[in-house]
Structure 1
Amino acid sequence: MSSVSVGRVLRRGACAGAVGALVAAGLGSGVALADDQPQSDQLWIQAPYEQSVTVAPDGGAAQFRSLALGLYHDNDNFTVTDGRLTVDVSGLAGVADVSWPDNCTPNDAGTVAVCDTADVPTRWSAQVQLKVQAAAGAVVGAQGAIEYSAEATGGPDGTLVAPQDSAETFVTVGSGPDLGISAPQDTTDVAPGTSLTVPFSVTNTGNETAHGFNVKMWATYGLDVVTRYPQCTYSGPDDGGEYTPMTYVTCSFDTDIAPGASVDLLEPLRLAVTDHALYERFDYEVQPGGDATDLDGSDNGRSWHITADNTADFAVRGTEVSGAAGDTVTAAFRFVNRGPAWVGNVSSGDPVAVIDYYLPEGTTATSVPDTCRNAWTSGDDPAIGHYACTLPLWAKPDLKVSFPFQLRIDRVVPDATGRVVVHPHSDTSSTFDPNSKNNSAKVVVNPSA
């Protein structure tokens, strides 16, 4: 789940790669397709690569487990309908049995079915819910495969077909605990200062008891973890150095969870939405204790997205400098987040802003900050240098970043005026900055008296 990937990304600093990719592409520089340019589309199958089922008990039937499937396509300029997902479970013979939902029509042998997914979205959602159980007599470790194919109506040629062999699910018979936590509903328009309770209940859907369980939690900078358990250790939010400021919690509980049982934490887990909260997320995951391996990790981690009713004010400040022809001057500008909120792109790792700097006429940049690049495009005035500068993936309130460009004055132009423009960006929404007046500034070389 995403909670694991977020924690790993933040600890490893992999967000730097995302920042570099964004710089190379240019924030907000999506390619606009001309009206007469041919467009393409592609149909895809969404299916888990692995699925475990619990071995059948002696003299009894194994429990059914859900297998979520669906179709999606790439280009939202096309309407795609009549999705047909073909599911072939013949490879599960002797390993697992399948119960088909109402929107699937199986053949006489019950091994291949065509499932109707109706309209096909551009963002995947579960459209087919199979039920899978271990076959009678199947032993732990037995494995089989489900194969898929799909087509739908729509796209540039009228029909879309999923790539052959693009999806497959390996079903394995196992035995052990299978812990999971339910998915929370995202929360919006939360007032700063609000206290929230995390929906945290752990259920064991496996066939063996979990002897204790371990929990990991990550809370972004705008959330305080109020509840403190003696079984947990806490770090952050300012212990992460150059990485995103977060609170990180690790816990070990010794409570047994029997098959089919659910347990809650010792007391409700409370979060405080701080005055500097904006686009927040709380990630948490659970694993069985000891050396036990969880049968199915797909429901072990969850992300709770919390949006505060708050704003952040991104601003840039310019400067005025003077010099003679041939001189090199420092013509810096500065970024500041006036708050009250912080902004952090903890999902994508993208910068929270890109700042365009158009040099004053008659100047050439001889030294450029490390986070800036030449951004000249064919649409720019060739006599005016253009640079794009990026911020980190987060900006706390009162963050100040200076960009000390060194400019050579090639020729003196009275009141030569450069332009600085900050473009705020957030994974969630870029409407957090209500004051656009201070999103631009001037850098003037040789101002008139």
Structure 2
Amino acid sequence: MTQQARRRPGPLRALGLVAAASLVAAGAAGTARAADEPLPVTITGEDRVDLSLGSGNGDSTEPQIDLRLDVPGEEFEGEGDAPTVFTGDYTIRIDATELEGVASVDLPCDADGLVATCTGWELYAGQRYNRVGDIRLDLDDDSEAGDFGSIKVTGEGEGLDFTPLNIDVLVGGPEFLNRTLPLPGGLKAGETYKAPVGLRNVGTMPAEGAVLRFHGSRGVSFPDSFGNCAYAEVTTGPLLHQGTDVICTFPDTIEAGAAYALAEPLKVRTADFALRDIFTYSFTAVPPSEVADLRAAKDYRQGDGVDLELEQVSGADPADYSRYADLDLPTTNTYDLELTGASLDAEAGDTVTAEIGFRNNGPAWIGALRSGGEPFSFTVEVPEGATVTKAPQRCREITLAEGEKGYRCMVSTPLLEDAEFTYPFELRVDRVVENAKGEVALPEANDPAEPNLVNNSAWIVLNGPDGQTDGGTGQNGGGGATPSASASPSPSSSSGSGQDGGAGSSGSGTSGGVQGGLASTGAGGAALIGGAALLALGLGAGVTVLLRRRARQTGGAIA
């Protein structure tokens, strides 16, 4: 192996956190620059890969490094071809010669041994469309514990100013697994779970300290404030990303082969509206000295209590540890979805507005955090003798089971515990049919979290007896007879964040709003799905957090 491979830095430099913070700062730079100034381009990708000698290094077909180029400007989100911000030759050079004798390397583009050259012509704002290629690393016959080297990625091109990327590779270093979390029996919303948080170093080398990162989604909080922890609460933006992130540092050495646990269980408090919220944690072998810049970049606040302590434990069962540790808390809360219909009187030729109501009576919100963005739906039948002249934007015409035309209306999730929407349908009465009815209904589902199903359907009634309708609950569905050429909806109150509120709104760019003639108390970005699987998938307890799918050999670090 090479001389570079044998050098064991102490501590290992550039462990990713400082570099990540600098990339954020670089990416935040605006597009304003003089015409004769070079365009700044940042080479991005994983900046550290740990190769395990004992527990495998993942799927051999799955690369650990995704190289891209980050260019200032607003990333293109529309349809069609993304507009270019630069046109001209550029070259990316990937030099992995330091890894000779350390690891085998599979490089992209035009590779000659441990050096590859990638060329390009066009660049786009952001990094989505500026992909360079993937790098896969594996052990080879000469790999030994403590071997270390770097991959250097540089770029050049006239009119461009590249920020290079160094990727540190360590063989057989410290490798942390996390203690699995037992599902608490009978935990109710509003109660506190005491999590037995711990780790095991299954690597071949000790770690120069450890960092614990844990996260709770919107319905989860952490009542303690430890002095060696920093806290960031996210209460704005898409509901999918709201919650609390915490980083705790432990400076003491973590011995190879040893297990550790917090001196006391970590308190995880659930809100009264919580239902299948996510609590997750992971330890990483990152020296605590490298965390300061990450905290500053993400606006963490320092805890003000006693330090959280980590203690070595004996007799730990290796089967109790895995790469990921998370739970859905709690699983026993309930919600109540309700549809309300409309009763309308009209003459032939009149146009009236039927305002269909949808709300969640709580007490739980519907996070659907495991499914990540699929809406659920309800159907609307059109009463006999009427034609829909204008439907809400998120309602589309379909053929119902009976072969008649109707509409399917979409509802985004997460759905707040007090969410309330109005779906206004303009109906033209072509001919008067006494007591003409059209059913409004959620799909049948069997989720114990919603025990009350009697209000999951309602009716639109035209020219019914005494102007009344049974909305499925024996209540008047609302939506009075208001003949008009172009009706406007009545928006509900709004208390959510990142939500499109008024009629005809195109939304604020965050998910969760019901666009086009709707108002709500809030929503977010992940979802629940319709049909028989309405809640079985969207709300079911899963075992894999989507945000951790790209976690690499860093002990399961949580972004």
Q: TM-score range with shorter-chain normalisation?
A: 0.5 to 0.7
Task: Select the residue among 219, 224, 228 that pairs with 1:222.
Answer: 219
Deviations 1:315-353 (A, max 9, x none): 111111233333332212111211222222101135574
Aligned partner of 1:285 in structure 2 is 282
Deviations 1:40-91 (A, max 9, x none): xxxxxxxxxx99433xxxxxxxxx447999xxxxxxxxxxxxxxxxxxxxxx
Q: What one-letter code is carried by the residue in structure 1 that aligns with 2:240? A: T
Aligned partner of 1:235 in structure 2 is 233
Task: Select the residue among 385, 390, 409 that pairs with 2:429.
Answer: 409
Aligned partner of 2:407 in structure 1 is 387
- Counterpart CA distance in 1 for 2:194 and 2:210 is 21
Aligned partner of 1:186 in structure 2 is 183
Aligned partner of 2:9 in structure 1 is none
Shift of 1:356: 1.3
- Counterpart CA distance in 2 for 1:352 and 1:187 is 30
Shift of 1:417: 1.3
CA change 1:196–1:187 in 2 (3 A) is same
- Pairing 1:421-432 to 2, within 5 Å after superposition: 421-423=441-443, 430-432=447-449
- Counterpart CA distance in 2 for 1:285 and 1:368 is 47
Aligned partner of 2:349 in structure 1 is 326
Shift of 1:247: 1.7
Deviations 1:130-165 (A, max 9, x none): xxx9978757489xxxxxxxxxxxxxxxxxxxxxxx
Task: Select the residue among 437, 440, 455 that pairs with 1:420.
Answer: 440
Q: Does the CA-based 8 Å contact 2:436-2:462 persist in structure 1?
A: yes
The reply to whether residue 53 of structure 1 matches residue 73 of structure 2 is: no
CA change 1:421–1:362 in 2 (3 A) is same
Q: What one-letter code is carried by the residue in structure 1 that aligns with 2:452? A: N
Q: Does the CA-based 8 Å contact 1:424-1:433 persist in structure 2?
A: no
Q: What one-letter code is carried by the residue in structure 1 that aligns with 2:413? A: L
Q: Which has the larger displacement, 433-442 or 364-373?
A: 364-373
Q: What TM-score do you get using the length of structure 1 for normalisation? A: 0.56
- Pairing 1:1-150 to 2, within 5 Å after superposition: 52-54=51-53, 64-65=54-55, 138=144, 140=147
| Structure 1 residue ranges without an equivalent (≥5) | 1-49, 55-63, 70-93, 97-132, 143-171, 293-297
- Larger strand proportion of the pair: 1
Q: What one-letter code is carried by the residue in structure 1 that aligns with 2:52? A: V
| Structure 2 residue ranges without an equivalent (≥5) | 1-48, 60-100, 104-138, 150-168, 291-320, 467-559
Aligned partner of 2:332 in structure 1 is 309
CA change 1:205–1:138 in 2 (3 A) is closer
Q: Does the CA-based 8 Å contact 1:331-1:407 persist in structure 2?
A: yes
Q: What one-letter code is carried by the residue in structure 2 that aligns with 1:401? A: F
Q: Does the CA-based 8 Å contact 1:286-1:301 persist in structure 2?
A: no
Identity %: 26
The reply to whether residue 250 of structure 1 matches residue 246 of structure 2 is: yes
Number of residue pairs the alignment of both structures matches: 291
Q: Does the CA-based 8 Å contact 1:211-1:254 persist in structure 2?
A: no
The reply to whether residue 177 of structure 1 matches residue 174 of structure 2 is: yes
- Counterpart CA distance in 2 for 1:299 and 1:191 is 26
- Counterpart CA distance in 2 for 1:260 and 1:306 is 31
Aligned partner of 2:265 in structure 1 is 268
Q: What one-letter code is carried by the residue in structure 1 that aligns with 2:447? A: S
- Counterpart CA distance in 2 for 1:369 and 1:337 is 19
CA change 1:340–1:352 in 2 (3 A) is farther
- Counterpart CA distance in 1 for 2:387 and 2:282 is 52
CA change 1:366–1:282 in 2 (3 A) is same
Deviations 1:195-215 (A, max 9, x none): 211121122222333334333
- Counterpart CA distance in 2 for 1:311 and 1:202 is 34
- Pairing 1:198-209 to 2, within 5 Å after superposition: 198-209=195-206
Task: Select the residue among 429, 444, 447 that pairs with 2:461.
Answer: 444
Q: Does the CA-based 8 Å contact 2:189-2:330 persist in structure 1?
A: no
CA change 1:173–1:240 in 2 (3 A) is same
- Counterpart CA distance in 2 for 1:197 and 1:419 is 47
* Corresponding residue SS for 1:244: helix
Q: What one-letter code is carried by the residue in structure 2 that aligns with 1:443? A: I
CA RMSD of aligned residues (A): 3.6
* Corresponding residue SS for 1:365: strand
Q: Does the CA-based 8 Å contact 2:196-2:262 persist in structure 1?
A: no
* Corresponding residue SS for 1:202: strand
Q: Does the CA-based 8 Å contact 1:331-1:443 persist in structure 2?
A: yes
Shift of 1:359: 1.5
Aligned partner of 1:105 in structure 2 is none
Q: What one-letter code is carried by the residue in structure 2 that aligns with 1:315? A: E
- Counterpart CA distance in 1 for 2:336 and 2:389 is 31
Aligned partner of 2:398 in structure 1 is 375
Q: Does the CA-based 8 Å contact 1:314-1:424 persist in structure 2?
A: no
CA change 1:240–1:217 in 2 (3 A) is farther
- Counterpart CA distance in 1 for 2:455 and 2:329 is 28
The reply to whether residue 364 of structure 1 matches residue 387 of structure 2 is: yes
Shift of 1:95: 10
* Corresponding residue SS for 2:455: helix
* Corresponding residue SS for 1:211: coil
- Counterpart CA distance in 2 for 1:424 and 1:210 is 53
Shift of 1:180: 1.9
Aligned partner of 2:540 in structure 1 is none
Aligned partner of 1:162 in structure 2 is none
Aligned partner of 1:115 in structure 2 is none
* Corresponding residue SS for 2:224: coil
